[in-house]
A and B are shown apart, each in its own frame.
Chain A
Amino acid sequence: MSLLELENVTLRFGGVTAVNDLTMDVREGEVFALVGPNGAGKSTVFNMISRFYTPASGSITFDGQDLLRLKPHEVPRLGIARTFQNIELFDRATVLQNLLVGRHRHRRTTLLEEMFFLGRARSEERAHRHAVEEVIDFLDLQPYRDKFIAGLPYGVRKVVELARALATKPRLLLLDEPASGLSVEETQDMRWWIEDIRRQMGITVLMVEHDMGLVGKVSDRVLALDGGRKLAEGTPAEVQAHPEVIAAYLGTGAISKTASATGERV
């Protein structure tokens, strides 16, 4: 059964059609990858789901609910969390504080309770802390718990961003290039984590990724975009073998040469 559905979605920026009549669905419990060359509209799709952009036409529904009627800050409350391509963490806060912000959608304390730290404030705070600690354990972030983001290396920041998204306890996780800028080992870690997120936590994952090695290993289905248009959809192998996909990546002349080299990194 599909969790997220986009139907005939079109988005234009002035004269540029960033996403053109795109229809796709993400099923509950799967890892779904969006691939395509730069400027294909992958991140734009993410930004529409997060409601930073509003499509000109079409509909986006999550678990039967119309996302287009929501404001950006209401989307996470349904259980959609995301990471950003160019890491957007809270730089002047510690890792722990960043993850605790992820718990914001579970906030139940009122302003007065928080001002005087009365009633539920303390027990809620402990509960948030506990939930965050589980994520820290899952992603091995213990050494960085009290470190400020501003001083952390890139690879760790990437993991912290994933952790912050997980701290919201989402049903659907949007990962915008989870492996970009990571070393080979870090990409390996990311791969296992994505598999564990799907298997142990039962979270559906929709990701944008250029590393076809990673996409091929973790995703159930892949959708290739170019110029905002759907080129191909199917299993990783099917999409990688699709002539239009190869053409979009390598140019039309490359089709004959690489058609046989499926399964390799494109």
Chain B
Amino acid sequence: MRFHFKTSYDHDIRLFPDWWNFAAYAALLVVLLALPFVLDSFFLGEVTNVLIWAVAGLGLMLLTGQTGQISLGHSAFMALGCYTCVIMMQSGVPFLLAFVLAGIITGLVGALIAIPALRLHGVYLAIATLALAIIADDIIVMLRRWTGGVNGMFAPDITLFGVEINRWVNPEYWYYMTLAIVLVVTLIYRNLLRSPLGRAFAAVRDSEVSAQAMGIDVARTKTIAFGLSCAITGLGGALMGLFAGSFNNETFNFLIAIQLLMMIVVGGLGFIHGAFLGAIVIAFLPQGLSLVTDVLGRGFYVPGLEIGVFGMILILFIIFEPMGLYGRWLKTRIWFELFPFARRDMFRRQKSYLKTERVR
């Protein structure tokens, strides 16, 4: 059993608590960097897809997992991020600038929408944001002059530091670019968690009254959380559109938002790891399902099977493992660390995790 012996305040502040932890993540990074040499371009594309979903998921995680506010409208912000990025690129803005600006614009719009929306709680907030996701579809069609409406848009090639990045020509570049973006987003997320704002998010999630009594402006904190969340999700959306190559008003429909929410619940609410584990499930589930239906024969194909299975997984997780895959991993790890002293009821739920569900 490892014992974590702290000798300075920095032990609580630094990113990695100890060398062992650092080594584990360094090894993971090495594996990720080596993947293009091992995988063929199809699977590399799948892994890129996982990372893109993870970016979008980290965005929603910040809002739902950290701040406790639910959103079923994040597909709208993915669309906003995607369209602003591509429109800027088409008018000659270099990719990196367009990408960052797309994030900032999405964040600002998100914060603006948050001001009225976050006066709502729980189910009402879910309904309001769901409406947003559905309206986004119509807005894209109405703005067809810029967005191409139902005909959609084609994503231009990305040029980064003089190198042309095309999914079909050099998938490994796409992969490395996505990996770099994921690392930056994760680092920002982690930095927020170890600073006053991140703790303010958790405070708002756990007790608004008490947060106010500690001098936290709840409305402002929620607005910032929503803005940051939308910005990150917007970046995810931009990557998704660029990666897909073409997109229209239906690419980012409300089902994407629901998938995103399902992803972070299955992965584990409130954990960075949860966004990644959830992304793996979301990205590989269709493949897994098609493998199963192939084995069973063509007669077994059912339309809507994917959504049905997604829904079932979500319900099973909420009932049996509300802390998600990462929570399950933590429990397993602690079980081994304490062996043979772990108790059955050590992780008994004390309160519902999604506090937003409580109607005030």
Contacts and interface: CB of A to CB of B under 8 A. Distances in A.
Interface majority SS (helix, strand, loop, mixed), chain B: helix
Given A76-B213, A114-B198, A125-B194, 14 more contacts: A50-B212, A75-B213, A77-B215, A90-B206, A90-B211, A91-B207, A92-B353, A93-B199, A93-B203, A101-B199, A101-B216, A105-B215, A111-B197, A115-B188
Nearest to B220: A73
Contact of A126 (B9, B197, B206, B215): B9
A116 B190 CA distance: 9
Interface of A: 50, 52, 71-77, 81-82, 84, 88-93, 96-97, 100-105, 107, 109, 111, 114-117, 121-122, 125-126, 128-130, 133, 150-151, 164, 168
A161 to B, nearest CB: 9
Contacts of A81: 213-214
B13 A129 contact: yes
A253 B197 CA distance: 57
A72 B199 contact: no
Interface residues of B, number: 34
Contact of B195 (A73, A77, A117): A117
A77 B211 CA distance: 13
A93 B9 CA distance: 18
Nearest to B184: A116
A44 to B, nearest CB: 14
A214 B349 CA distance: 35
B9 A114 contact: no
B351 interface: yes
B206 A116 contact: no
Interface in B140-192: 188, 191-192
Nearest to B188: A115
23 contacts: A50-B213, A52-B212, A73-B217, A76-B215, A77-B215, A88-B209, A88-B213, A89-B210, A90-B206, A92-B202, A92-B270, A93-B206, A97-B199, A103-B196, A104-B200, A104-B215, A116-B188, A117-B191, A117-B194, A121-B191, A125-B195, A126-B13, A164-B214
Contacts of A168: 214-215
A48 to B, nearest CB: 13
A74 B270 CA distance: 28
Contact of A91 (B9, B200, B216, B351): B351
B232 to A, nearest CB: 11
Interface of B: 9-10, 12-13, 188, 191-192, 194-200, 202-203, 205-207, 209-218, 224, 270, 350-351, 353
A178 B192 CA distance: 33
Contact of B192 (A93, A97, A114, A129): A114
A76 B224 CA distance: 21
A130 B9 contact: yes
Contacts of B198: 114
Contact of B214 (A93, A101, A109): A101
Contacts of A105: 214-215
A122 B207 contact: no
Contact of B215 (A73, A92, A114): A73
Contacts of A100: 196, 199
